[in-house]
Amino acid sequence: MATDLGSRFVQMCDYLQDPRLVARFQSLCGVQGTFQDKASKDQSAPELDHRGPRRRLPGPGVGNGAAAAAGDAGDNEDTARAKPLRRNSLTGDVGQEFLIQNKFLFYLFTFGTELGNEMFFIIFFPFVLWNVDPLVSRRIIVVWAWNLLVGQSTKDMVRWSRPASPPVVKVEVFYNSEYSMPSTHAMTGTAIPFCLFMLTCGRWQYPFLFGLGVALSWSVLVCVSRVYMGMHSVLEVITGFLFTLLILAVLQPLLETIDTFYMMGDYAPLVIAVTHVGFGLVAFSLDSWSTSRGDTAQALGTGAGAALATYVNYQLGLLEDYPLSSLPLALPPLSAALVVRSVLRFLVGVAVLLVTRMGMKAVTIPFLCRVHGLPLDDVRRARQLMRVELPYRYIVYSVVGFSCVSVVPLLFSLLNLA
């Protein structure tokens, strides 16, 4: 009986890992590859019909570094030929053109996949910190950083390749150099909304089912988008989702203790630096370069900077939080003054973070190249070297995280925007 169940489980996993399942889902959603006929037949990919008028997909491409849709269309006016999103300048992977037959799903799942990318985190964490609830934002950053570390480390240990193309269409290629199991997009896309829900439920006044529905919808959108993009199999997405629920079950009860230690611990700065850098170094065991090492160091650097800022703010009496007597919190009435102040805080703060990141990159990378005797005319190659990439990511993003939690709120006080 146990052997039979084990056999069925293995068969189910094999089915969910099959790239043809991803290809069928993409075809159902209106994504068709432009593989050569022979390659398509060999890999059992859907055959394409190129008849009918062709036209250009209007508007710019979606996503950071996305190519605009470029020219020829397919069977009808709703079909367009497009290029992969977020092409990776470090790997030179530009992908292959494909046909989009359902533009609504294309934009929907592009938005979903952006919920797991760097630019979203630069927007989301500061917005919650500056305009909603600093405590919630600080603790979500903790979960995000350690959740990503566990996910990326697991990828590098399991070392499963991305779904084969063909038959899968690579709608995005930015993360194609990484290993695939589990989906860290699915992990962050589950950790952030569910952690947000668990931290605000009871602390803020809103219907329980509304919060749960938003968290579940957010997570499902991100998870499904990774299959649509051709970056993960169904099994990898499901594993990422379940893996994160396990991590949250362990980490969520510890968040108050961790946050309190960051504020008041006598050796908090030393522990923060040692844990964030030390665990990162242990985890980085790549056999070849990929974006996973930099993304993990980036998250750990941001988490370290935010944690150090929490300690500094508390020691200086600058840490903002709502008094316990005011809980549960009610949403303030919407007014023009509130909207204007929130928008100004967000725009000023993000501008400071982007300038900080740009300035730190401009200083750190050339400095590290000089230290290690590397030519400055090949920054792309230098950034792939561990001795440059790790300190660069840690330094730049720890400063960004510190600025977000400590420097920008202080600037708001000076500008009368607090």
What are the residue numbers of the active site? 185, 232
* Strand-pair partners of 31: 100
Say which amino acid occupies 16: L
- The Cα 274–Cα 268 span in angstroms is 10
Q: Is the peptide bond before 328 cis (omega within 30 degrees of 0)?
A: yes
Q: Tokens in use for 96? A: 């292959």
Which residues, in sequence order, are CB contacts of 248 under 8 Å at separation 6+? 143, 191, 194, 195, 198
User: How long a stretch of residues is the chain?
Assistant: 418
**Helices and strands in the chain, H and E counts:** 16, 3
Residue 81 host element (H or E): strand 80-82
Say which amino acid occupies 45: A
The answer to whether residues 154 and 68 touch, using CB atoms and an 8 Å cutoff, is no
31-33, strands of its sheet edge to edge: 31-33, 98-100, 80-82
Compute the Cα dihedral for 396, 401, 406, 408 and give only its sign: positive
Q: Tokens in use for 358? A: 């740009």
Q: Tokens in use for 140? A: 């979500």
- The Cα 42–Cα 48 span in angstroms is 14
